[in-house]
Structure 1
Amino acid sequence: MRKHNEVGFYKLSKYNSMVKSGMLTVSLILFLSMISCGSKQEKKVIADENPVRPNIVFILADDLGIHDLSVTGSNYYETPNIDRIAKEGTVFTQGYAASQVCSPSRASIMTGQSTARHGVTDWIGAASGSDRKGNNKIMPASYNHKLDANAITLPEAFKENGYTTFFAGKWHLGDTPSTPENNGYDINVGGWEVGSPKGGYFSPWVNPKLPNKEAGENLSMRLAKETNQFIEKQDGTPFFAMLSFYAVHGPIQTSEEAWSKYREKAEEQGIADTGFEMERILPIRTKQDNPVYAGLVEQMDKAVGVVLNRLEELGIADNTIIVFTSDNGGVASGDAFSTSNLPLRGGKGYQWEGGIREPYFIKVPYVKAAPKEIDYPVTGADLYPTLLDLAGLPQKPNQSKDGVSLKPLFTGEKINERSLFWHYPHYGNQGGEPSSMIRKGNYKLIYYWESSKSELYNLSSDPSEQNDIARANVELTAQLQEELLNYLDEVGANKPIANPKYDAAKAKKLYQDRKNRLLPRLEAERKNMLSKDYEPNATWWDSKVTKD
């Protein structure tokens, strides 16, 4: 695997300079006071005993990689609106998803628990155990296909405290009765059991919770408009609104205009002869030059802008906390092979940093001296207690057992070092291997269920995870592995079992077929997408469909 790419880390001065020198740490910016300035409500600081209850807008992207934003280092994708959240808020430079795939990560956001604890360890709908077909060394563990009915979800916690709750977009946390409506949301627009945009990103789509209105309408923009309509009706009532985009999940689609813009941009930057290389199991993308994916990212960014602008127009932006993050790494292998996460290794489905590192932004507008960057490692499970704390609401310690409130970091305080855990005892469609991970300090250990062996990386000196130091650090490896396995036992995590029918020779042949056939095909498809006469179909995935 190569170690470098034209894609850098955060374009935020201190962090960017430290990454160039191989370091990930960054000093917290301390501040002296917190000032609130709600425009239509009484001004208070969040440290008051009875603060004005802020609104929450939680924006969750699907499959967006750590470097898929211009503010996080891309020189190809253009995301001025999402960048705005980062620049006006606080960037957690070591932000993680709770899993390398979607449903588990989303369940952790909703429950404040790790995937090993809540049991939704794979994307809902994936086969497990003996039901999974294929020549694998192990049979993937079973997993929960819905949220625990007894869980007090994040929107339920807000609803208990007088908030109106709203959900728009991708749910993928189970079918009836595990629906948004049964998990704390007063209103659900577009959320059902399906995890991808069935029917595509332009109307007519297939979604029983989102009727088609205008031919050719963009899905991301529609979800943003629905969110605005909800916000406009609140009239002073505090609200919790989750805008959960289907973008940028495959199938990747965009308009001809956006494709043309980014095809020309790729040409101006210089189209490389190759854009893929082999990882352990599948080819992986090494270049950000996919003009269709770039257009899809831009469509989502414009939709974010529509919501941000409406908050300003309504005069409530100064009393609205905004969260932006993603549910797993960018798709570099499998699915649409859309983007590159380099210099981080891997992507969606993978056990390396590219599979779990995310944009992780929180804007608390009435805290004027909030740090611009925080390097404390955080996960999606932390958002549950953090948002309750920032809103001045009671915590749910018996529910959010794995998350911690990050509010002290906004006040210049410190949080004790802790261990973070991931549990994915499954085979990813993208080439990831059944594994569990622990991060403690600068060290990250990956335990592989196929071999019962571990890799160890020092992320401060090796963020690209190229140098496995397990053999050189036997004692540390043993300690971290023991802590990880003890934690999994403690929470009752499901585990895989060996597959007696595994054929090693067959697996080797499959790898060679992927290298000799799939890799050249992907390169040809990449070049075709960048050619001047590229046309997916006559209507450009229905973006050209005219109104009746």
Structure 2
Amino acid sequence: MYKRIGLFLSFSSIVLFITQSLQAADDKPAVVPPNVLLIVIDDMGWADLGCYGSKFHRSPQLDQLAKEGLRFTDAYASCPVCSPTRAAIMTGRWPARLNLTDWLPGRGDQPSQKLARPKIEQQLPLAEVTIAERLRAAGYRTASIGKWHLGGTGFGPEEQGFELNIAGDQGGSPPGYFAPFGNPGGKRKGRQLKGLEAAKDGEYLTDLLTDAAINFIQKNKSEPFFLYLPHYTVHIPLQAKAEVIKKYPADSKFSGQQNSGVYAAMIESLDDGIGRIMKTLDELKLAENTLVIFTSDNGGLATLEGAHTPATSNAPLREGKGFLYEGGIRVPLIMRWPRGIQPGTSSVPVSSIDLLPTIMEICNLPVPTEIDGQSIVPVWKQTKERRKSPLFWHYPHYANQGGKPGGAIRSDRWKLIEFYEDDRRELFDVASDMREGRNVAAQNPQVVADLKKQLDDWRESVGAKMMTPNPDYSPNAQAADGTVSLPGKWVTVHGETLRFEPLPHKNTLGYWTNPNDWASWEFDLKQPGTYEVELTIGCGNGSGGSEVDVLVGEQKLSFVVEQTGGFQNFVARKIGKIELTKAGRHTLEIRPQKKPGAAVMDVPLVKLLPVK
């Protein structure tokens, strides 16, 4: 009935029922199976809630949930984007093992990208066994209320063990947050959300999903249930109730801090809904024996991607959604189960893949051996327990947000990131440097070698699909007017600290504190000729005076960096001319020779301007 587990779990359920009946016959209290409420928020950042340090967003209900439950400081999504993490949650298996490593259908290859993505699954295969299938076969009522994004017709929640599906389809973004969804003109055409077709105009999607969740709980209060509540919020398009937006300062220019009133209002409506659900559990006397899990599918959106974005800042974590840095993969995780969890905080690293075995264990069901996750239950009993195995990531894709393809491993305090374009590696001690500001790979070569081998072995063991050279690769192609533009986002960095900083208030090559670090760009030239080299530069007061060489082939231009009044106070400066006699592929390098101040400079853009 339910794939390969149906017969086995049905038999185990009978055994469990008989065991509980015998206990009752002996005047011993029968074990009441716990309910499970799994709430997954879309694109919520690690620092978005008050209990995780936000001073701008209001989340009293979730803060209370964290106070009453176990709050994890080092919880991770299995991928920096959504669909792979959702697949990992459903199956307890690494996205790389599932060959589902990007959002669906995924970003296509582009000429600017050096590598081509591997072909991936376009849905969660029906052969995979989900949490819902395992629990439904054991007698649980199951519902998925909200975003699915793991396949369309024939691959929806109904085919993966859920009796009830509301609003779940192949889509990753909601068709708007106000009914009639996706149809501002009022005509109900185009993509509709299943089960919400009768929503009244103006009703808010987050509230409707909350209503549906409460209705499901009320109807199934006398039976064990598994309620999967994957909210669409806080994914773009950012839309919130006007009366709630008014509570917050008007959106202003992003400066690296949380300051979006629209995003804050979305979180407040979500928080109100969580409070309503918790109140319902209390009123029905179900709270004591309901495991509530609250988490996110990836880090918060911290780059430009539509109106009111960037949505949030993940500070003190680095970067956000689409990146393998902490801001892209570290997420909030709160677990509350009064019958089994002592309130507190845990710094044990855990992952999306760990939710399935945890749920199976607390439901007194066999923990499958073919999965990759490990139960978190021991952590509840001893919050300082160390993780038994490393956490891994495989992201062979270019993210819409600017992240580049790579892999990563976290083992105890160490985290290694490997970039697939150039095989560069960065090592961070995330236990003491959660900001990932100090790449200590050069100081710890043996640690790098050990983690690199573990990452290689893991990729082989799960059958990770790797990238291949992009046959259409044409980096930084020359524009029709002859200009060659080399933006910071397409730089190749060499060294320890130099990096591209993608947040929109920076959007620059920066952190140039080590004068031995250097940068390079490839570009395709169609028109040979003489070109003037123009660098856009920012340099803080007191940091001027760095001596820098710019090289293209054997040609070299040298200049001294002048301070501009701030590292993000950019000034365009022409430094000289070069002669490019051949069309085709060239490389431009920037190599500091001397750095008297705190940093060399910031560079968001280099241009080659044709001299006519």
The TM-score, its normalising length taken from structure 2, stands at 0.71
Cα 1:223–1:464, aligned 2, differ >3 Å: closer, same or farther? same
Alignment partners' CA distance in 2, 1:261 and 1:102: 30
Cα 1:470–1:521, aligned 2, differ >3 Å: closer, same or farther? closer
Pairing 1:406–2:376 present: yes
The secondary structure found in structure 1 opposite 2:40 is strand
For 1:470-481, list aligned pairs within 5 A. 470-481=441-452
Pairing 1:511–2:467 present: no
- Residue 141 of structure 1 corresponds to 118
Q: CA deviation at 1:437?
A: 0.5
Q: CA deviation at 1:452?
A: 1.4
**Fraction of identical pairs, as percent:** 37
More moved, 252-261 vs 339-348:
252-261
- Residue 319 of structure 2 corresponds to 346
Pairing 1:197–2:174 present: yes
Cα 1:256–1:435, aligned 2, differ >3 Å: closer, same or farther? same
- Residue 551 of structure 2 corresponds to none
Instruction: For 1:393, give the aligned amino acid.
Output: L
CA contact (8 A) 2:43 2:296 kept: yes
* Pair member with larger Rg: 2
Alignment partners' CA distance in 2, 1:211 and 1:152: 30
Q: Answer 1 or 2: higher relative contact order, Cα 8 Å, separation at least 6.
A: 1
For 1:203-222, list aligned pairs within 5 A. 203-205=180-182, 206-209=191-194, 210-222=196-208
More moved, 140-149 vs 444-453:
140-149
Pairing 1:355–2:324 present: no
- Residue 40 of structure 2 corresponds to 60
Pairing 1:97–2:73 present: no
More moved, 108-117 vs 227-236:
227-236
Instruction: For 1:449, give the aligned amino acid.
Output: Y
Alignment partners' CA distance in 1, 2:59 and 2:442: 42
Pairing 1:119–2:118 present: no
Alignment partners' CA distance in 2, 1:233 and 1:144: 36
Alignment partners' CA distance in 2, 1:417 and 1:231: 36
Pairing 1:275–2:261 present: no
Q: CA deviation at 1:505?
A: 3.9
CA contact (8 A) 2:139 2:224 kept: yes
CA contact (8 A) 1:58 1:242 kept: yes
The TM-score, its normalising length taken from structure 1, stands at 0.79
- Residue 239 of structure 1 corresponds to 225
Alignment partners' CA distance in 1, 2:221 and 2:335: 24
CA contact (8 A) 1:203 1:219 kept: no
Structure 2: where are the runs of 5+ without partners?
A: 1-22, 183-190, 479-483, 491-499, 508-612
The secondary structure found in structure 2 opposite 1:181 is helix
Cα 1:163–1:496, aligned 2, differ >3 Å: closer, same or farther? same
The secondary structure found in structure 2 opposite 1:263 is coil
Cα 1:513–1:60, aligned 2, differ >3 Å: closer, same or farther? closer
- Residue 304 of structure 1 corresponds to 274
- Residue 21 of structure 1 corresponds to none
- Residue 161 of structure 2 corresponds to 184
Cα 1:235–1:69, aligned 2, differ >3 Å: closer, same or farther? closer
CA deviations on 1:455-484 (whole Å, 9 max, x unpaired) are 111112211011111122112111111110
- Residue 384 of structure 1 corresponds to 356
Which of 362, 366, 370 aligns to 1:394? It is 366
CA contact (8 A) 2:80 2:324 kept: yes
- Residue 155 of structure 1 corresponds to 132
Cα 1:329–1:300, aligned 2, differ >3 Å: closer, same or farther? same
Alignment partners' CA distance in 1, 2:486 and 2:85: 30
Alignment partners' CA distance in 2, 1:419 and 1:154: 23
CA contact (8 A) 1:455 1:470 kept: yes
Alignment partners' CA distance in 2, 1:444 and 1:214: 49
Instruction: For 1:120, give the aligned amino acid.
Output: L
Alignment partners' CA distance in 1, 2:420 and 2:146: 34
Which of 468, 489, 494 aligns to 1:497? It is 468
CA contact (8 A) 1:293 1:339 kept: yes
Cα 1:49–1:394, aligned 2, differ >3 Å: closer, same or farther? farther
Structure 1: where are the runs of 5+ without partners?
A: 1-42, 277-285, 523-548
Alignment partners' CA distance in 2, 1:348 and 1:59: 19
Q: CA deviation at 1:415?
A: 5.2
Q: CA deviation at 1:80?
A: 1.0
CA deviations on 1:470-518 (whole Å, 9 max, x unpaired) are 1221121111111101111111111111224433444982626999xx9
Q: CA deviation at 1:199?
A: 3.0
Alignment partners' CA distance in 2, 1:496 and 1:513: 20
CA deviations on 1:153-183 (whole Å, 9 max, x unpaired) are 0111111110000110000001122110000
CA RMSD of aligned residues (A): 2.5
CA contact (8 A) 1:125 1:145 kept: yes
More moved, 448-457 vs 133-142:
133-142
Instruction: For 1:124, give the aligned amino acid.
Output: L
Which of 271, 283, 289 aligns to 1:319? It is 289
- Residue 526 of structure 1 corresponds to none
The secondary structure found in structure 1 opposite 2:247 is helix
Alignment partners' CA distance in 2, 1:500 and 1:216: 48
CA contact (8 A) 2:177 2:204 kept: no
Cα 1:203–1:478, aligned 2, differ >3 Å: closer, same or farther? same
- Which structure carries more helix by proportion? 1
Alignment partners' CA distance in 2, 1:520 and 1:375: 31
